[in-house]
Amino acid sequence: MSDDTSDFVVRERAPRRKRTDARRNIESLLEAAKTVFSTVGVDAPAKEITDLAGVGVGTLYRHFPQRSDLIKAVIEREIDACADAAPALAAEHEPGVALAKWLDRFTAFVATKRGFAAALHSGDPAFDGLPGYLMQKLGPALESLLKAATASGEIQARITAQDLLYAVAKLCAPMPNEDPDYGRRMVALLVDGLRSGESPH
């Protein structure tokens, strides 16, 4: 009780940040998983991933006890990358171009990542949070691009960021035997529809 550290015991102990080797391994695992997932598929043997990452299996299971944890982490990291691309594109291009380029990037993500659609439809509750995560991360990113493009007069905002995201996501959800470029074209159409002035609707 009179122990002079007692005041600190109560305080939320900052949980000494993860060891550097641990963080490095997690990084390697995510990178390897991303590669293997897009190569072999999300059901690829764990060994494949750990070998590519250069770690033991134990390490994989310590950081990602469930396979779904790994998949979720990979997808979230890709969503993050997508979100990060927004400011970068905004800095390098005219607002309208930046918007188009970003949507193209997002489309590519949704269209090519089989794992994403599969995860969503797997029925595994572990993935329930993903749509929300996507919305939360990408909503603001798109919103800023949209706002900038509207402000510069290049487009007219006839749609909210949220609706646009959903529309793109659903349009691009890959279907077997569907022209793989179908989604991209639909989105292009959508964006053209946003451009102001030219078409006399």
- Is residue 179 at the binding interface for its own copies, with CB under 8 A as the rule? no
With CB under 7 A as the rule, give the number of residues binding DNA: 26
- Is residue 167 at the binding interface for DNA, with CB under 7 A as the rule? no
| Least distance CB 43 / DNA (angstroms) | 7
Using CB under 7 A, pick the residue from 3, 4, 43, 179 that binds DNA. Answer: 43
CA torsion sign for 6, 9, 10, 14 is positive
CA torsion sign for 174, 64, 130, 134 is negative
Query: Which listed range, 43-51, 78-86, 139-147, 179-187, lies at the site for DNA (CB under 7 A)?
Result: 43-51
Q: Tell me, residue by residue from 100 to 119, as one string, x for binding to its own copies by CB under 8 A and - for no binding.
A: --------------x--xx-
Using CB under 7 A, pick the residue from 35, 38, 52, 67 that binds DNA. Answer: 67
- Is residue 63 at the binding interface for DNA, with CB under 7 A as the rule? yes
**Residue 18 near which of DNA, its own copies, none (CB within 5-8 Å, type-dependent):** DNA
**Residue 123 near which of DNA, its own copies, none (CB within 5-8 Å, type-dependent):** its own copies
CA dist 117 and 201 (Å) reads 35
Q: Which is nearer to its own copies, 85 or 130 (CB)?
A: 130
Q: Note whether 36 and 48 are within 8 A (CB).
A: yes
DSSP string, 46-108: HHHHHHHHT--HHHHHHH-SSHHHHHHHHHHHHHHHHHHHHHHHHHHS-HHHHHHHHHHHHHH
Q: Is 58 exposed, middle or buried (0-12, 13-18, 19+ CB in 10 A)?
A: exposed
With CB under 8 A as the rule, give the number of residues binding its own copies: 21
The two tokens of residue 37 are 């997932």
The residue among 126, 18, 129 whose CA lies nearest residue 63 is 18
Backbone angles phi, psi at 118, to 5 degrees: -60, -45
| Least distance CB 5 / its own copies (angstroms) | 44
Contacts with its own copies by CB under 8 A lie at 41, 114, 117-118, 120-123, 125, 127-132, 170, 173-177
